[in-house]
Structure 1
Amino acid sequence: MPIRYRNPVYDAYFADPFVLRVAEGYVAYGTGRVVDGRAFEVLTSSDLVTWRSVGGALELLPPELGLGGDYWAPEVAEADGRWWMYYSVGHGDVGHHLRVAVAEHPTGPFVDQGVNLTPDERFAIDASPFRDEDGTWYLFHARDVLEGDRVGTMLAVNVLDGMTRLRGQSRTILRPSDDWQVFLRQRKMYGQLYDWHTLEGPFVRRYGGRYYCFYSGGSWLEPTYGVAYAVADHPLGPWVEPSGVPPLLRTVTDRVIGPGHNCVITGPDGQDVIVYHAWNPERTARRMCIDPILWSPDGPRVLGPSFSPTHFPRAAE
């Protein structure tokens, strides 16, 4: 039987969703509420459609550290028999840095390891760990770059030496390339005015011997905001955006606003699924959505964003 669903699959606030497949099914982590005194609500599911909240994930950092109270965009990787959470913490739109926490179980509790992974960055968010087939771990993320023709938040990568240390400086892998990626013109940042571009929420998937970096771009307030991708033959690049290919997801006026910050997971029937958030029409909450993602020699294609009852396609569809 096809798996039927209707977006959003979780009606409460649950932004920047990341889904991990575990032996018991699926675990999701998202930006939003502090639950049971912990950051990042945790959900579990057997089918990606019906979700149940099981509490909070991350033990809050001591306020006296002065690191800020905005916890954003967790992603989790399993290594060495434990689960490692990468996230950012800071003060609003400035001062964010990447950190790592560890737990003995995928639902937590996660305990911060006392490491600032990006002490030399102006602003770093949206950490996304990726393990290559040779066992090498990489950490993709977004960071602010003030050099170049198109200034703003861009995508970068570094190698993880162990799970709590990056190898030297991160390298930029994808810069803004088009006006649809403009967040705000004449935005005041770092004491200057810039036409500020935004690339954020990187997520890498290997398919057919190549690497696909999905990312969100632009301003969620604009209809051009959405999810696009770049392709490479190695995690360190070079990364290239396919020419003339429209974004995989974009706003549907009055229905799906600002779809973005995705991950890709394989469903229980073997169908790849893109998981993302979108604002409700009232723009009061980002909620978790899912849609099938199909692969071809020309690259990925998303059957969405959907907002009415639908189903995952069978393999032959």
Structure 2
Amino acid sequence: MPVSYRNPVHDAYFADPFVLRTQGRFVAYGTGRHVEGRAFEVLESDDLVTWRSAGGALVPVEGLGSDYWAPEVCEADGRWWMYYSVGEGDAGHHLRVAVADDPLGPFVDRGVDLTPHERFAIDPSPFRDRDGTWYLFHARDVLEGDRVGTMLAVDVLDGMDRLRGEPRTVLTPSDDWQLFLRGREMYGRTYDWHTLEGPAVVEREGRYWCFYSGGSWQEPSYGVGVAVADHPLGPWTEPRRAPILRTVPGHVVGPGHNSITTTPDGRDVMAYHAWDPDGTARRMCIDPLAWTAEGPRVLGPTWEPAEL
């Protein structure tokens, strides 16, 4: 039965929304407020439209930094595993993992730096293949290649708190819409810096689709692109070099960093953030995701009343 909605579906700050369907409801985790002394606010919903706060998720860890970004959660071995990054601003972020006995938390950090050899790593996204293998997709800084910047990688999880340590490139910048900033000073040099971030992977009809955000969140070119592969480790290709979700001037600003969830009757829905008109908060939005012969198509971004 169709459900009516209007974006944003959650009016408060809630960036990088990850929506999980579990135990007969939807649970969302986002970057933003600390609640009850815990990082990452948790929201609950019965229909993806009306959300209620369920408190904070993660017990903070002293000495790692104040910026906790982009949590994603999965269930394995009867427990709930949260992957996230922590650091200070644009410097020193690394990937971490925490565990809980309930999807609402509290999540307790496992004391493991999953990416000790990376310059900068953010936006971890766990994915379980049909054979049971777990992978962790993420974004990392790479200073080699024609287009330098933050780009996408994947590694195998040999345990829920242990990466194999053999990261493979998923996608490198390929177009000017992915430009973050020209003449950006980074790592002691100046680069035309490109950014690919926020990977989210699903399998549909035997192929793997990686949705990601590209460009600068401060610019109208920022949006969501997609790549496809026949195996989680690749090779990955882009069926089109253009965003499938992007800014609509005057209506939707900076839509990006999405996750994909599925309704009980099997329909895919994209959750993403977009800025409020004053540019003070990223708020959670949703729109249906349709599959065509050319690949996925977002039925949005919408700002008027719509139906799932």
Interval of TM-score (by shorter of Structure 1 and Structure 2): over 0.9
Q: Deviations over 1:62-83 (max 9, x none)?
A: 2xxx211100000001000000
More displaced 10-residue stretch of structure 1: 121-130 or 293-302: 293-302
* Cα distance in structure 2, aligned partners of 1:308 and 1:139: 36
After superposition, give the CA deviation of every residue in 1:246-265 in whole Å (9 maximum; x if it has no partner): 31110011221110000111
Which of 220, 223, 232 is the equivalent residue of 1:223? 220
Aligned to 2:34: 34
Distance 1:236 1:264 in 2: 20
Q: How many residues align?
A: 308
Match for residue 13 of structure 1?
Answer: 13
Q: Please tell me the residue identity of whatever aligns with 2:11.
A: D
C-alpha distance in 2, partners of 1:303/1:187? Answer: 34
2:169 maps to which of 167, 172, 178: 172
Amino acid in structure 2 at the alignment position of 1:186: G
Shift of 1:268: 3.4
Q: Distance in 2 between matches of 1:300 and 1:75?
A: 22
1:282 alignment counterpart:
278
Matches within 5 A, 1:157-306: 157-243=154-240, 246-306=242-302
- Hey, what's the Cα distance between the residues in 2 that align with 1:251 and 1:208? 29
- The alpha-carbon deviation at position 296 of structure 1 amounts to 1.7
Output the CA distance in 2 between the equivalents of 1:172 and 1:106.
30
- Corresponding residue for 1:49? 49
* TM-superposed deviation, 1:169: 2.9
Q: Is the 8 A contact 1:255 1:280 kept in 2?
A: no
**What code does the residue aligned with 1:118 have?**
T
Q: Name the aligned partner's letter for residue 12 of structure 1.
A: A
Query: What SS class does the counterpart of residue 33 from structure 2 fall into?
Result: coil
Match for residue 58 of structure 1? 58
| TM-score when normalising by structure 1 | 0.96
Gaps of 5+ in 2: none
- Rounded to whole Å, the distance in 1 between the matches of 2:23 and 2:297 is 28
Q: CA offsets, 1:107-153, max 9 Å, x none?
A: 00000000000000000000000000000000000000000110000
Task: Tell me the distance in 2 between the aligned counterparts of 1:221 and 1:68.
Answer: 24
Distance 1:174 1:6 in 2: 33
Following TM superposition, where does structure 1 have runs of at least 4 consecutive aligned residues deviating by more than 4 angstroms? none
Q: Structure 1 residue 271: deviation in Å? A: 1.6
TM-score (norm 2): 0.99
Is the CA contact 2:156–2:166 (under 8 Å) kept in the aligned structure 1?
A: no
The equivalent of 1:144 in structure 2 is: 141
Amino-acid identity (%): 74
1:72 aligns with 2:69: yes
RMSD (Å) for aligned C-alpha atoms: 0.8
Q: Deviation per CA, 1:26-47, whole angstroms, max 9, x where unpaired? A: 1000000000000000000011
Contact 1:115 / 1:164 at 8 angstroms: preserved in 2? Answer: yes
Distance 2:39 2:64 in 1: 14
For the Cα contact (< 8 Å) 1:96–1:123, is it kept in 2? Answer: yes
**Letter paired with 2:185:** K
Partner SS for 2:159: coil
Secondary structure of the residue that 1:206 maps to in structure 2? strand
Rounded Cα–Cα distance in structure 1 between residues aligned with 2:153 and 2:197: 10
- Deviation, 1:220, is 1.6
AA at the equivalent of 1:33: R
Q: CA deviation at 1:229?
A: 0.2
Flag structure 1 segments of 5+ consecutive residues without an equivalent. 313-317
